[in-house]
A and B are shown apart, each in its own frame.
Chain A
Amino acid sequence: MTTTDWEVVIGLETHAQLSTRSKIFSGASTAFGAPANTQASAVDIALPGVLPVINRGAVERAIRFGLAVGATIAPVSVFARKNYFYPDLPKGYQISQYEIPVVQGGEIAIVSPTRGEIAVKLTRAHLEEDAGKSLHEDFHGMTGIDLNRAGMPLLEIVSEPDLTSSAEAVAYAKALHALVRWIGICDGNMQEGSFRCDANVSVRRPGAPLGTRCEIKNLNSFRFLEAAIEFEARRQVELLEGGGRVVQETRLYDPDRSETRPMRSKEDAHDYRYFPDPDLPPLAIDAAWIERVRGGMPELPAAMRERFARDYRLTAYDTTMLTQSRETAAYFEEAVRAFGDDAKTIANWMLGEVAAALNKSETDIAAAPVAPAALAGLLRRVADGTISHKSAKDVFDAMWAGEGDADAIIARKGLTQISDEGAIGTLVDEVIAANPSIVAEFRAGKEKAFNSLVGKAMAATKGKANPAQVNAILRKKL
């Protein structure tokens, strides 16, 4: 794509499914994976005469989000009905917030691959209910309807069209994904649809007014998000460069073909006939409620990064990586507490060995087989010279495999480092005596020969000699 001639403008609408136990307007369970229609109450299937009642837990999660992004929490917001017919929409309308959403404004700080640290502005975030699912497979000539998802609580988070590349859109989506999990309002499970994005994409010449946009629906992985935007931007540029024009429409991304396809055009867009839902009084949130929620908020990643840099003297890279999730940060701080003061050592291990092991075994850090205190115990043995850094990696692998704590493994494998000065002196004498030619080379000024002698000493003890001590004593004796 001729990115020099065109600017891509992207805004995301993200649906985060809120982690309440019951649905947004009924008492039915929100647990994932139940048999079809077993978690659909009278309200969810829209029997005659039933009424919605707002789940305060969903409101509280919206407040949490608003506080986390520095938004205005509307003292009064309004639920509206969005009317349209579809078999998986039992009432014939979706309850959503339209004119007055609960969260207004706010911003999310991200690290853009092209522009560095930027703040992505949010337009709004509003509460709404999900629809059910239409199942077109397995029902020959018919459509199955599963209403378990009907009434699931959603927070739709709408960004301003502040994003300028697919990579930046992904960085924003990842930051948002991390944030909603961090503040405990959404499990972020993208396979189960708990976090999904719609992307509004348009292109323009630099300085020109915004171009006509297309909306790509239901992107449920970061990879698809990136690929869909890439494709769509290229499609629009090619269209415009070929003298055509972009038609405003809703498009679907096909991951098998890596392309977007039209779903419906503006012309056949529904007239949703929004109006305030008369069954639900305006949602009032007073200052006391907001303060109660604020009191229960965890420390936010930005504040935590600052604190880690200040208290532990870590680099920006370290603090960013250690605050990828609350669990990671908690692991780090627990390990630091158990270990003592040298946080940098913990950070290095977490971002090195621990991260690699987690990756390899596809494990969440909360379920890591090596607990923070156990990691600290291992590193203490390195610090006090009991084992070498090299042995520590073997011990770590053994700990990961469940073979016990560091001390037990060190003892069992006989990995204790030789740090006895007398023993190392004897060893060095033997090495000097056995390698006269190398000694001569060293004395003739070849510094490399020294390392060779250290190697001989280490090899003679199968690596158990304390290398620092070997170094010092060898140099002294030579």
Chain B
Amino acid sequence: MADPLATVAGLAAQLAARKLSSVEVTRALLDRIAALDRSLNSFVTIDGDGALAAAEAADAARAKGEAGPLTGIPIAHKDVLMTAGLPTTCASRMLANFVAPYDAHVVARLKRAGTVLVGKTNMDEFAMGSSTENSHFGPVRNPWNTALVPGGSSGGSAAAVAARLVPAATGTDTGGSIRQPASYTGITGLKPTYGRCSRYGLVAFASSLDTPGVFARTALDCALLLAAMAGHDERDATSVDRPVDDFAVRLAASAADPARPLAGLRVGMPAEFFGEGVDADVASAVAAALDELRKLGATTVPLALPRVGLAVPVYYVIAPAEASSNLSRFDGVRYGHRAAEYGDLADMYRRTRAEGFGPEVKRRILVGTYVLSHGYYDAYYLKAQQVRRLIADDFRAAFAQCDVIAGPTAPTAAFRIGAQADDPVQMYLNDIFTIPANLAGIPAISIPCGFTADGRPIGLQLTGPAFAEVRLLEAAHRFQQATDWHRKSPPENVA
């Protein structure tokens, strides 16, 4: 029987076998979004007409024998990625009416691969947050329990994929913004190596950390999307020019020893990821996942990342510093919000930015401006960059002893909406395990590995050395072949 709610790989097989057309899948998902998203608020923009037109084009291409693995697959993009002709708001009042005049590089690549864009997903304003409560368009709710946050900042994409509104969606990960919401919503989220996917058309938050990536239900689906998204872009000087593995093909290859497909894989267990501060349910689910990895043939290696504890403070110097500069272009002069009334030029800037930005964005601009200011630069920004290098060194040393590093994606499962809204530092600590990979620029993936006693999803994070995405995807894929955490669906939340 045709299943429009299948995974990317599942839909691709049905489309290829003509059990379903892209138009049928797209229509089914648009109907589902219309029915369910009022309670989730995961979308900012839905482009039904555009999606159906793209689906028709995809079906026509397939009829001509011109279909690739992603032709006709509906997806959504985080609203921080520019999409030509569609609003790109960054969930900010500043850009509430901004229509993108061009496609981000990853958007263009996925379009060329034949995907069907159904809409843009909600997020923390300018990707600043860990709960998707900081949105001009209201908070996103977690499909597993609508009283909970979906994590952030890519909470809209995570919720949409978890609720089967789309089989896959893009996200961006500056300090855990893909992996933490993937963990909170029980799906798979991949943050590639910095430089693997172009940042061109990603509205910059923290340029040295921002990484486009992907959400799906399985590692195999992530592999399919990454293969299409990744690749050199000469418009991004930090994009890396190296061949892109055909990730999905590597995953499809059969293991030498099917009973022990991860034989030879050394999994590092940093003491810092298994200590205090991790919720008991999370700790036991991750421990069980490590047992599973051992059962699949992997060996575990205890190790230390001694300076990883400095990651959060370092991040909250570097990221706001870059943000304070990156967000200067939102000045009301050329596009975006401008205050209706103002006196002189300085007053226009003041009012425009006071009205256009929400409180968390303002907080980070203030922090960033402070740490870069004369007399403080050395003590904060320069010092943070030095420690950042030491953290990257810790990872380099660790990867001499192991192939991947495992641990919980976040110290807790999803929390209630509003629970941490008044405590920014507590909020920042949700990213304690995800931020280190951003500082080191290395790839990491979050995969579902269990639930808390009260039914909230838990994520296992695997981190690898630079450009070892295929190693992460393969380990995650073998784990998912042996487990079914990723097959669990949240309840249907009909508003």
Contacts and interface: CB of A to CB of B under 8 A. Distances in A.
Which of A49, A53, A278, A281 has the most C-beta atoms of chain B within 10 angstroms of its own C-beta?
Answer: A49
A275 B372 contact: yes
Contacts of B329: 46, 48, 90-92
Given A49-B200, A50-B200, A54-B237, A273 B369 contact: yes
B202 interface: yes
Nearest to B104: A49
B285 to A, nearest CB: 36
A49 to B, nearest CB: 4
A271 B104 CA distance: 33
Q: How large is the interface on B (under 10, 10 to 19, 20 to 34, 35 or more residues)?
A: 35 or more
Contacts of B81: 49
Contacts of B392: none
Given A48-B90, A51-B237, A271-B374, A85 B98 contact: no
Contacts, number: 96
Nearest to A270: B374
B95 interface: yes
A1 interface: no
Interface in B348-391: 349, 369, 372-374, 377, 381
B173 interface: no
A270 B377 CA distance: 15
A81 B325 contact: yes
A54 B235 CA distance: 10
Interface string B78-113: 000110000010100001001011101000000000
A90 B237 contact: no
A273 B373 contact: yes
- Interface of A (DSSP majority class): loop
A91 B204 CA distance: 12
Given A278-B207, A279-B238, A42 B328 contact: no
A311 B167 CA distance: 80
Contact of B98 (A48, A53, A280): A48
A93 B328 contact: yes
Interface in A257-296: 271, 273-275, 278-281
A85 B237 contact: no
A326 to B, nearest CB: 34
B311 interface: no
B307 to A, nearest CB: 21
A425 interface: no
B334 A46 contact: yes
Interface of B: 81-82, 88, 90, 95, 98, 100-102, 104, 199-204, 206-208, 234-238, 321-322, 324-325, 327-331, 333-335, 345, 349, 369, 372-374, 377, 381
Interface of A: 42, 45-54, 81, 83, 85, 87, 90-93, 145, 271, 273-275, 278-281
18 contacts: A48-B88, A49-B104, A50-B201, A53-B235, A53-B236, A53-B237, A54-B237, A90-B329, A92-B328, A145-B333, A145-B334, A273-B369, A278-B207, A278-B208, A278-B322, A279-B207, A279-B238, A281-B238
